[in-house]
Amino acid sequence: MKILTCTAPGNFEYSEGEKPSLTSGRAIIKIKRIGICGTDLHAYEGTQPFFSYPRVLGHELSGELVEADGAEGFNPGDLVTIIPYFNCGTCVACKAGKPNCCATISVFGVHEDGGMKEFISVPSSSLVKQDGLSLEQLALAEPLAIGAHGVRRAGVQPGEFVVVMGAGPIGLGVMEFARIAGGKVIAMDINEDRLAFCRETLGIEHTVNATGDYKAAIEKITGGSFAESVIDATGSSIAIHNGFGLMAHGGRYVLVGLQKGPIEFSHPEFHKRESTLMSSRNATREDFDTVLKALKDQKVKAASYITHEVAFDQVKADFASWLDPANKVIKAMVSLP
């Protein structure tokens, strides 16, 4: 089978490898679609934490189940995706129902080689399916689940203002599920094309360009109270630090995005608001179930996110271009026959 490996920052190489064989508790999937996410782009740039090279990228996947051991309810030929966060099941987080932040977690395509290949072997317990969904919808379930998990962490309530910083694919998912939860979403980004996408495609009423006086704009939108929830989906140190000033008194700040450095904020300002600061890592099966239902019910039209489509053989040539804002990439989707 053909494999695409990120051998070092800025470089991909195709190679040939052996198709995996079925082993106990595993499933073999013929990959059909691969979504390109921020993690992949940052890995290519060399700015992704928890990362080493060489690495086969890819964890936003869908394909056809070839065979499986210990996968009750699944049959060969099923269209499936996976929960790409492989957990131990025995650590303190797993026992508490938080396998998404397992102490020894291995994320497919990050800590171990991922799905940029024609066939993959994964734990049967990671399989997910939803009859009636397309390969594209299934491949988009994972990034949407990241957004759904962040909103669940924030505890968004109907009528609350929710500032979502970052209008990339993860931020868009956050906006969708904040809206579904009844939040009044304010999208913030430095890219006017992405803000236009929020307005025109997602129907987000309030958009704010962070290159301007964003704090005054949000103060006006919220009637001076600022936002009950602020959710970062940028992974930008500057944006993350600026987000503290956008919280209402009693507000919650959830970091979905990830950057490498420390975070600093004014303790008195944070304290007087009785603020809550949380991280949001990965997603759980509950979040995947939420996403699949929203997709099936047409509450989220994920196919509209796909702005660029390319064949697997073309990824090496095209990948760098997806980092250029001028190309207006929301979601690149890779197809395999």
pLDDT tens track for 180-203 = 999 999 999 999 999 999 999 999
Cα(154)–Cα(251) distance, rounded to whole angstroms? Answer: 9
Torsion angle defined by CA atoms of residues 251, 94, 33 and 112, in that order, rounded to the nearest 10 degrees: 110
Give mean pLDDT, residues 133-137. 97
pLDDT per residue as tens digits for the range 310-330: 999 999 999 999 999 899 999
Distance of CA 34 to the CA centre of its chain: 13
Side-chain-side CA neighbours of 142 within 13 Å: the count stands at 31
Cα(44)–Cα(24) distance, rounded to whole angstroms? Answer: 33
Give mean pLDDT, residues 251-268. 94
- Tokens at 281, concatenated: 């890592």
- Whether 208 shows a pLDDT value over 80: the answer reads yes
- Tokens at 163, concatenated: 């500032």
| Mean pLDDT score across all residues of the chain | 96
Nearest CA to 137 out of 75, 79, 56 is that of 79
- Whether 237 shows a pLDDT value over 90: the answer reads yes
- Whether 11 shows a pLDDT value over 80: the answer reads yes
Give mean pLDDT, residues 15-38. 96
What pLDDT is stored for residue 257 in this prediction? 93
What pLDDT is stored for residue 51 in this prediction? 80
Cβ within 8 Å of residue 72, ≥6 positions away? none
Q: Write the DSSP assignment of 6-61 as a string of letters.
A: EEETTEEEEEE-PPPPP-TTEEEEEEEEEEE-HHHHHHHHT--SS--SSB----EE
Cα(170)–Cα(143) distance, rounded to whole angstroms? Answer: 6
Side-chain-side CA neighbours of 229 within 13 Å: the count stands at 33
Cα(82)–Cα(144) distance, rounded to whole angstroms? Answer: 13
The residues facing 60 across adjacent strands are: 35
pLDDT per residue as tens digits for the range 50-69: 788 999 999 999 999 999 99
What pLDDT is stored for residue 270 in this prediction? 97
What pLDDT is stored for residue 9 in this prediction? 94
The residues facing 27 across adjacent strands are: 68, 122
Helix axes 169-180, 192-200, angle to 10 degrees: 30
pLDDT per residue as tens digits for the range 140-161: 999 999 999 999 999 999 999 9
Nearest CA to 327 out of 25, 41, 74 is that of 41
Q: pTM here?
A: 0.94
Phi-psi region of 239 (alpha: psi -120 to 50; beta: other; left: phi over 0): alpha
Output helix, strand, coil percentages for the chain, rounded to the nearest 5: 35, 30, 40
Residue 233 and residue 170 in contact, taking contact as beta carbons nearer than 8 Å: yes
- Whether 236 shows a pLDDT value over 90: the answer reads yes
